[in-house]
Amino acid sequence: MSAPSHPTWAVAALGDEPAPLIAAFARHHRAIGASEVHIFLDRPNPDVAGMIGDREGIFITTCDQAYWDRENRGKRPERHTGRQKFVSTRVYQNSGCDWVLHCDVDEFVADEEALSKALTDADRDRGLVLRNSERVYLPECTGDMIFEGGFRRPFHLTEEDTQAIYGRFGKFLAYGLTGHRIGKTIVPTGHPWEMGVHHPKALDGGAKPKVSATPQRFLLHFDGLTPLHYAIKLLKKSFENYSGPKRKIGEAREAQYRFTRNHADRPREIVRLVTGVQSLNAAQVKQLLALDWLRMTPFFPMDCDDLDLSRATFDALLRARDGEILARAGLEM
């Protein structure tokens, strides 16, 4: 009797980042077992295909106006999240895999065996939330490569205890993180659902899809691949302007954006904020380790040894792409 086959899975991501990161995301997830990796480029980025190379199972789509004319009657969703939902739902509805994961290109599944086992044991009538941890810079980080650092998990403490660990920067963190703590859901195919940013949603007013969560935290979130990357992210989000109601974001994240808006003419203060929320000193490392809220195990994406994933190259690409907003803020990092 042959051994039962493992469930197959696909991953979909909409990316507007330097090509080395997008290529690393695609190559890593294909290498750890994704049957399909769907990369949607939010703007043309011809270097991506060359960096991915001739690898089966990786599909690249440029979401230019021709794409929206073809796929959505010319309508390009105004918000990035709307475009994410659209492209990932298209993958979900057309994939031949058993499961589909939507995540960002700064999020990496770290444990192939754990994911395979989780999918084998999972209830196919529920989504499976892959819980996340968040990259943080450690005191001994050299800063040479974009994936350096450890990984902190979210925690629930009083405001006073949080500030005891992080000082003046505690108010800028939610559950000890700069980003989200709710993970991303890998969704069983074959249901009348659509993909959301974090969780699936029912079509046509159906019952809300149920979800379970993995006990492990093997989705690694790099909320900013370099300090410059995070600073640019803050600047862009702080002055984001679109029609319709504003997105609901957490109090801590809004505090970061408000600080950035108020100090846009004081770049050193923005640098201090980035350092304060994304780096740990030796005392903080000791505290988080004692509480089991920090993992020091390093990560480097699979099948990426020939990619230039240096901080210097990544930041140079960012400066070329986002030079206007950096010049406006007077930010040099």
pLDDT tens-digit profile of 22-62? 999 999 999 999 999 999 999 999 999 999 999 999 999 99
Give yes or no: residues 214 and 315 share one domain.
no
Q: What is the CATH number of the domain that holds 214?
A: 3.90.550
CA 32/CA 108 separation, integer angstroms: 10
Q: H/E/C letters for each residue in the chain?
A: CCCCCCCCEEEEEEECCCHHHHHHHHHHHHHCCCCEEEEEECCCCCHHHHHHCCCCCEEEEECCHHHHHHHHCCCCCCCHHHHHHHHHHHHHHHCCCCEEEECCCCEEECCHHHHHHHHHHCCCCCEEEECEEEEEECCCCCCCECCCCEEECCCCCCHHHHHHHHHHHHHHCECCECCCCCCEEEEECCCCEECCCCCCEECCCCCCCCEEECCCCCEEECCCCCHHHHHHHHHHHHCCCCCCCCCCCCHHHHHHHHHHHHCCCCHHHHHHHHHHHHECCHHHHHHHHHCCCEECCCCCCCCCCCCCCEHHHHHHHHHHHHHHHHHHHCCCC
Please indicate, yes or no, if residue 28 is contained in any of the structural domains. yes
Q: What is the pLDDT of residue 246?
A: 57
Mean pLDDT of 55-74: 97
Q: What is the pLDDT of residue 241?
A: 63
User: Is 3 a residue whose pLDDT tops 80?
Assistant: no
pLDDT, tens only, 132-157: 999 999 998 888 999 999 999 998 88
Q: Percent of the chain scored above 90 by pLDDT?
A: 80
pLDDT, tens only, 285-294: 999 999 999 9
CA 147/CA 300 separation, integer angstroms: 6
Please indicate, yes or no, if residue 1 is contained in any of the structural domains. no
The whole-model pTM stands at 0.94
Q: What is the pLDDT of residue 4?
A: 53
168, 197, 220 — which closes off a domain? 220
**In terms of residue numbers, what domain contains 167?**
136-177+223-329
CA 46/CA 39 separation, integer angstroms: 13
pLDDT, tens only, 115-134: 999 999 999 999 999 999 99
- What total of structural domains would you count in the chain? 2
Q: Percent of the chain scored above 70 by pLDDT?
A: 96
CA 313/CA 105 separation, integer angstroms: 18
Give yes or no: residues 205 and 312 share one domain.
no
Q: What is the pLDDT of residue 2?
A: 43
